[in-house]
A and B are shown apart, each in its own frame.
Chain A
Amino acid sequence: MLLIHCPYCEEERPELEFRNAGEAHIARPANIVAESDEDFEKFFFIRANTKGLVYERWRHVHGCARFFNAVRDSVSDKFIMTYKAGEPKPKKLPGAGK
């Protein structure tokens, strides 16, 4: 069971309180009607599924109920960091590029 730091509650809580919500930073197109079939496919179905650092969404569903983002290593399952929804993809990760 993972231990997840909720950036809103500012504490680590067990995975049971959270629900994973899939890949992060896939914004719904502002003018979605104008999207081509290919673009819609990319938006709705295609996923990075990275082996390594993944940017993903979690919801602290049995806590503050907020959605937030996390960077996790999908090989070790270790969290690198979590950050609030709407914040940009972090350019520099803790522990990287010292």
Chain B
Amino acid sequence: MKKYSVFAIAREAMRAHKGWEEQWSSPEPKKEYDVIIIGAGGHGLGTAYYLAKEHGITNVAVLEKGWLGGGNTGRNTTIIRSNYLYDESAGIYDHALKLWDGLSQDLNYNVMYSARGVMMLAHNIHDIQVFKRHIHANRLNGIDNEWLTPEQAKEFCPPLNISKDARYPVLGAALQRRGGTARHDAVAWGYARGASARGVDIIQNCEVTGIKRGPNGEVAGVETARGFIGAKKVGVVAAGHTSVLMNMAGVRMPLESYPLQALVSEPVKPIVPCVVMSNTVHAYISQSDKGELVIGAGTDQYTSYSQTGGLHILEHTLDAICEMFPMFTRMKMLRSWGGIVDVTPDRSPILAKTPVKGLYVNCGWGTGGFKATPGSANVFAHTIARDEPHPINAPFTLERFRTGRLIDEAAAAAVAH
């Protein structure tokens, strides 16, 4: 792999950029691999990268039914933060955050991790109680998260409306300064390049149609659009399609897949300097390096694999944005799209072994998987390589739904009395 640098760019500039090599190769699938990862999103490609880099397992294929990075990785609003309440969640998200810082250098690919700060707005006393609980828990877990007054919030994000006359006035905010955004495509591409350079085969347009099990029930390989491919271990990292794939191995999942929409505005000069989220008025916003306001909110109410959703969902989202930023009513929506998010009953992910030997699953990230990408990939690679979870992902089992040992981040933000 030729190293990227400003010198490489200068060199290529002289020859019309004809000397760049392929960022990843597109090989034909081999007959068999040690590990097959299903799903070439950030989590899947990252898993392959860490398998090769940290565990020396390079006979790996990443199978993708479409184009790499084309699922939720390329469709999300790229918010990164780790200020979760429970120790288990804080553990995995902060593991990710630490990897984000330094990922560009590790991959030699600028993923543009931008620690511009994530500010979550409180609009009522219940919000304040919940946010303070997070802030205190985060502090004792060594995770930065600080309370801001409305005035401090406005100072951090000048266009924010903190008028007391607002329908739901801002009463304060929780700010994680290390939180921010990253360039989603670059994450997929950087991991793909790094994995490919270490010998991983990335095979696109190769839909998995079956998971084959051996005589003792163990995983034997996968049926694909391009024929059978043998494998000793299979990791399913397919976000919205996890239920479909796991069904092929006879494993039924505690998941439901919902449409999640997002939109961007036309690009404008810098105005929103950080990420702003509000659960109460229900929307979130940041501004991309191109100048587009990147906006998202909640899912549609019904399960769907259509990658589209209703206009009324975008309406609610923009209502909320214009409530927080009244000057944005004159801005224009440039593009809207949908992804398919897989949601668990406790809104926490599953990163675990499964009842099928050799089959591993990484799913259930709901609406917030992007931020976890490096951490999730890193410990999932560990889980596959060692056939046992890393301490960080050990709590994120499938069994917790049987025992009741849930990691209920959603419940922790319980509805107001």
**Is the A/B pair a real complex?**
yes
List chain A positions with a Cβ less than 8 A from chain B: 1-2, 15-16, 19-20, 22-23, 37-38, 40-42, 44-51, 54, 56, 72, 74-77
Tell me the nearest residue of chain A to B308, going by C-beta: A77
- Closest chain-B Cβ to A41's Cβ sits at a distance in Å of 4
Contact check, B252 vs A74: say whether CB atoms are below 8 A apart. no
Contact check, B304 vs A77: say whether CB atoms are below 8 A apart. yes
Tell me the nearest residue of chain A to B311, going by C-beta: A1
- Closest chain-B Cβ to A81's Cβ sits at a distance in Å of 16
22 A-B pairs with CB atoms under 8 Å apart are: A1-B310, A1-B311, A1-B312, A15-B301, A16-B312, A23-B256, A41-B402, A45-B345, A46-B252, A46-B253, A46-B401, A47-B243, A47-B254, A47-B255, A48-B243, A49-B243, A49-B244, A49-B256, A51-B257, A56-B302, A56-B303, A77-B302
B253 neighbours in A (Cβ, 8 Å): 46-47, 49
Flag whether B241 is at the interface (Cβ < 8 A): yes
Residue from A1, A19, A37, A76 in contact with B306 in the complex, judged by beta carbons closer than 8 Å:
A76
What is the bound-complex CA distance between A77 and B300, given in angstroms?
A: 12
Contact check, B255 vs A38: say whether CB atoms are below 8 A apart. no
Report the contact-size class of chain B (Cβ under 8 Å from the partner): 20 to 34
Q: Number of residue pairs across A and B with beta carbons under 8 Å?
A: 70
List chain B positions with a Cβ less than 8 A from chain A: 241, 243-244, 252-257, 301-306, 308, 310-312, 342, 345, 401-403
Contact check, A54 vs B303: say whether CB atoms are below 8 A apart. yes
What is the bound-complex CA distance between A22 and B402, given in angstroms?
A: 20
Interface of B is mostly: loop
B243 neighbours in A (Cβ, 8 Å): 47-51
- Closest chain-A Cβ to B136's Cβ sits at a distance in Å of 31
- Closest chain-A Cβ to B33's Cβ sits at a distance in Å of 26
B403 neighbours in A (Cβ, 8 Å): 37
What is the bound-complex CA distance between A56 and B243, given in angstroms?
A: 16
A46 neighbours in B (Cβ, 8 Å): 252-254, 401
B401 neighbours in A (Cβ, 8 Å): 41, 44-46
B345 neighbours in A (Cβ, 8 Å): 44-45
B303 neighbours in A (Cβ, 8 Å): 49, 54, 56, 74
